[in-house]
Amino acid sequence: MRASVAAIRGGVPSVAIVGSHFKARAKTIECSLGVQDSGMAVYPGHIRLDDENEFCRKVATDIVDQIISELGNVKISPARKSGEHQPREIVFRGSIDEVNAHFYDAQWTEGLPVIPPTLDRIDAFMKHTARRPDEVIGVLLPERREATVWNVAVNGVMSGCLPEYMPVLLALVEAIADPEFRIEDHGSTPGWEPLIVISGPVTKALDFNFGTGVMRPGRRANTGIGRFLRLYTRNIAALRIPPGETDRAGIGNPFNVVIAEAEDFVRSIGWPTYGMERGLKEGESGVTVQSMMGASAPMAGHGAEGNDLLGYLDPMADVFGKAILGYWVHTVVAFAHWDPLIIMNPQIAKLAADKGWSKNDIRNYLYERAQIPARDVEFRGRFVNLELASQLEKGIVPAAYGASKDPDRLVPCFYTPESIGIVIAGNPATTWQRGYMNNHEQGAAVTKNIAWDRG
């Protein structure tokens, strides 16, 4: 749809061919481009599930006539905008049960009860920012709805956040409104979810959990702010599963709670914090948002004894690196973007630091150990016509992917050592660790400062 609209705007008649299951999604993408009626031919069923004979039959009997018909009437019209509720407008009155039923029917919730966003509650959030309620932070695709300071507060109330979280919520919306994040791809079939890492003094000030059960719901800041971002992408970007039509996740993931790092501990072993590595200065607070498509099993270094550091790192390389990232690395080679994230246990971090290892030493070790045959990468990349040699010629991938022409040569699963994010968190009385895989350039890691008043 994007290519078709671009061609039409360039004076070339064009029709998008869309699978029938994605017709509504295609119309939404068309809306995100600011147009309507650009023309499409609908392929019945799923192309990849049809054999060659069935594919040819459908093209001959369904697609060709649609293309001819649509090409004869190619046009693009400005998209119509539906009516939007205005700030301070009362949209419903009733009991809390009636409010929740109304919001659910209107697809304004993700299925959980909400706190009714009354004007007094919204005003309480607005007291924690000097920004104007009508300030536009960005325009969120696919429905091209404006992200404003006011609707950040509204969704903050609904998700159960405290008013003092408002500066964090604003920074989060700045991150997903950044074009680099590609919020328009959030409804893609892999079903990725935003994953938040919080950094700086705000972590302690707002009582984020960075220890035992760091990824469990239970601490208000971690859970409420994680829920806020999922609710905001649903309500403002309009990413909704059925009966909505904009989120076409094959299976999907639940929303993530916020990850906070044990920053005092990290400093005590002489390592830079995750926030510092993302560009935050000492004393600054910030949020990093990236996509999360899947997580590894928890790993505790089974078989490792005493101070056997490699006994804890090898499972991370084998399970998270080879098995999980290796299965998906063809998309990284195709799109040249990768932000895998590791939650490393404080015990393992201290063991590494005591042995003189830095974070970069760990990254380099994982990068060198987690490698798979090049033929596997190209085989899995057939659906994007991946050719490693072509990617190398274009300068899209590092030289490590073309060390030879042997199809059985080993290539990295981590893309580059620098791409590996490491956050130190979790129960310090254990050795459990976990890796999180993102979806290449969709949901690329974006960091934004929090306007946090340390006073």
Walk along the chain (455 residues) and give the pLDDT tens digit of each residue: 788 888 888 888 888 898 887 787 787 777 767 777 778 888 988 787 788 888 888 888 888 988 888 887 777 776 655 567 888 889 999 999 999 999 999 999 999 999 999 999 999 999 999 999 999 999 998 888 999 999 999 999 999 999 999 999 999 999 999 999 999 899 888 899 999 999 999 999 999 999 999 999 999 999 999 999 999 999 999 888 888 888 888 899 899 999 999 999 999 999 999 999 999 999 999 999 999 999 999 998 777 777 899 999 999 999 999 999 999 999 988 998 999 999 999 999 999 999 999 999 999 999 999 999 999 999 998 888 888 888 888 888 888 888 888 999 999 999 999 999 999 999 999 999 999 999 999 999 999 999 987 54
- In terms of Cβ atoms closer than 10 Å to its own Cβ (0-12, 13-18, 19+), residue 113 is middle
Map tokens 């971002």 to a residue.
Answer: 229
State the amino acid at position 247 in one-letter form: D
Q: Chain-centre distance of CA 417, in angstroms?
A: 21
Alpha helices in 130-286 (DSSP H): 149-158, 166-177, 202-205, 220-235, 263-268, 274-277
- Which tokens sit at 343? 């939650």
Could you tell me where the DSSP H helices lie in 112-216? 119-126, 149-158, 166-177, 202-205
pLDDT at 455: 44
The token pair that represents 276 in the structure block: 């510092």
Q: How do beta strands 77-78 and 16-19 pair?
A: unpaired
Q: Which amino acid is at 208?
A: F
Terminal CA-to-CA distance of the chain, rounded, Å? 50
pTM (two decimals) = 0.87
C-alpha pair distances (Å), 219 with each of 161, 202, 215, 378: 11, 15, 10, 43
pLDDT at 170: 98
Residue 117 to residue 121: CA distance in whole angstroms: 6
Among the residues of 197-306, which ranges form H helices? 202-205, 220-235, 263-268, 274-277
Q: Which amino acid is at 230?
A: R
Q: Encoding tokens for residue 396?
A: 């899209």
Domain ranges of the chain: 2-78, 82-290+443-455, 294-437
Residue-level pLDDT at 169 = 98
- Helix (H, G, I), strand (E, B), or coil: what is residue 341? strand
Which residues face 384 on adjacent strands? none
Could you give the residue ranges of the DSSP H alpha helices within 259-386?
263-268, 274-277, 309-315, 326-335, 346-354, 359-369, 374-380
Residue type, 46: H
CA atoms within 13 A on the CB side of 358: 7
Alpha-carbon span 90 to 428, nearest angstrom: 49
Query: In a 10 Å sphere around its CB, with 0-12 CB exposed, 13-18 middle and 19+ buried, how is residue 58 labelled?
Result: middle
SS3 of residue 168 by DSSP? helix
Q: β-pairing, 193-199 with 259-260?
A: parallel
209 neighbors 168 (Cβ within 8 angstroms): no
Q: Check residue 88 and give its pLDDT.
A: 87
**DSSP 8-class letter at 297:** P
Per DSSP (E only), the strands in 26-75 are 35-36, 40-43
Please list, in sequence order, all residues whose beta carbon lies within 8 angstroms of the beta carbon of residue 210, skipping any fewer than 6 positions away: 203, 259, 260, 261, 262, 263, 425
